């Protein structure tokens, strides 16, 4: 075979293979992004966590209506108030206590939106759980329900629902568990693929897009960013 023909064949193969490897090494960013890798809980205080930073002390802490479960280093308490308004907003208070304490002694207050419920419409397990033993290991986790846009500038009807799982790894620290978050993403993808009322036309398309995005995250086919949502810094390898 002439040398020139060999070079052409080699160059053609290289041009065909290179985009594949480039795509594998730099997957696109996931549509859903966690707000925090970890949440630090200050001893003896309840503080608002806004935009990745601790702000003013929580006001009007709930005196009852808490859900409580054992979480290993302590007990987790969650109080979720909502949804309100067109954005389905929630005020979520997460507290920690010792086994012998009746109420949480420290924690954080968070804002959440379940706007993505408009496309999900129903959840087979009942009301969305904010506190649950996701992997049935005897230790409960905090579940932060969040919404993500299906388009760059999606309208209020073009959002989907995501659940981020946080484990209590120390009496003062909640850390995201991506494996358990992926498990819930698979469950939500299945929910989006199940038939729903009026699941036709545009709504059906949105539900398909939501399931694809959730499956992409669950199967490690998109990348997460560190810090606050929107930063182009990737999670550490293996995180």
pLDDT greater than 60 at residue 232 = no
Quote the pLDDT of residue 163: 98
User: How far is Cα 152 from Cα 133, in angstroms, rounded to an integer?
Assistant: 34
Whether residue 83 lies inside any domain: the answer is yes
HSE, CB side, 13 Å, CA atoms: give it for residue 98.
4
Residue 138, burial from CB neighbour count under 10 angstroms (0-12, 13-18, 19+): exposed
Whether residue 157 lies inside any domain: the answer is yes
Rounded to 5°, angle at Cα 132 from 126 and 133: 125
Whether residue 84 lies inside any domain: the answer is yes
Greatest mean pLDDT range, 14-28, 153-167, 190-204:
153-167
pTM over 0.85: no
* Longest CA pairwise span in the chain (Å): 84
Whether residue 105 lies inside any domain: the answer is yes
Whether residue 4 lies inside any domain: the answer is no
Whether residue 235 lies inside any domain: the answer is no
Whether residue 232 lies inside any domain: the answer is no
Rounded to 5°, angle at Cα 237 from 234 and 239: 90
User: How far is Cα 159 from Cα 89, in angstroms, rounded to an integer?
Assistant: 14
Instruction: Please tell me the total count of domains within the chain.
Output: 1
Section 94-111 average pLDDT: 94
Q: Among candidates 151, 142, 144, 158, which has minimal Cα distance to 113?
A: 144
Number of CB atoms found within 10 A of residue 173's CB? 15
Quote the pLDDT of residue 200: 66
Counting other chains too, the contacts that 15-20 makes at CB distance below 8 Å and 24 or more residues apart are none
Whether residue 13 lies inside any domain: the answer is no
**Cβ 191 vs Cβ 120: under 8 Å:** yes
pLDDT greater than 50 at residue 10 = no
Rounded to 5°, angle at Cα 67 from 227 and 85: 65
Domain that holds residue 153: 29-218
Quote the pLDDT of residue 96: 97
Q: Among candidates 101, 3, 108, 104, which has minimal Cα distance to 55?
A: 108
Confidence label for 152 from pLDDT (cuts 50, 70 and 90): confident
The pair of three-digit structure tokens given for residue 192, joined into one six-digit string = 């989006």
Q: In whole angstroms, how large is the CA radius of gyration of the chain?
A: 21
pLDDT digits (tens, 9 = 90+) for 175-214: 999 999 999 999 999 999 987 766 667 888 999 999 999 9
pLDDT digits (tens, 9 = 90+) for 203-222: 889 999 999 999 999 999 99
């Amino acid at each position: 075979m002439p040398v020139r023909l060999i070079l052409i064949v080699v160059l053609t193969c290289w041009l065909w293979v290179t985009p594949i490897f480039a795509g594998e090494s730099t997957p696109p960013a996931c549509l859903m992004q966690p707000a925090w890798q970890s949440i630090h809980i200050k001893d003896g205080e309840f503080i608002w966590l806004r935009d990745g930073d601790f702000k003013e002390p929580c006001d009007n802490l709930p005196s009852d209506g808490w859900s409580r479960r054992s979480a290993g280093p302590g007990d987790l308490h969650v109080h979720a108030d909502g949804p309100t308004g067109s954005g389905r907003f929630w005020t979520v208070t997460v507290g920690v206590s010792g086994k012998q304490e009746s109420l949480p002694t420290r924690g954080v207050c968070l804002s959440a939106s379940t706007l993505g419920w408009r496309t999900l419409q129903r959840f087979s397990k009942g009301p969305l759980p904010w506190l649950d033993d996701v992997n049935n290991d005897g230790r409960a986790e905090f579940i932060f329900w969040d919404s993500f846009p299906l388009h760059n500038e999606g309208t209020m009807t073009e959002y989907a629902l995501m659940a981020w799982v946080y484990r209590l790894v120390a009496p003062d620290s909640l850390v995201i568990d991506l494996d358990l978050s992926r498990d819930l993403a698979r469950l939500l993808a299945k929910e989006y693929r199940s038939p729903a009322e009026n699941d036709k036309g545009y709504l059906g398309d949105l539900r398909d897009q939501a399931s694809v995005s959730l499956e992409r995250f669950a199967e490690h086919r998109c990348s997460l960013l560190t810090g606050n949502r929107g930063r182009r810094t990737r999670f550490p390898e293996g995180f």
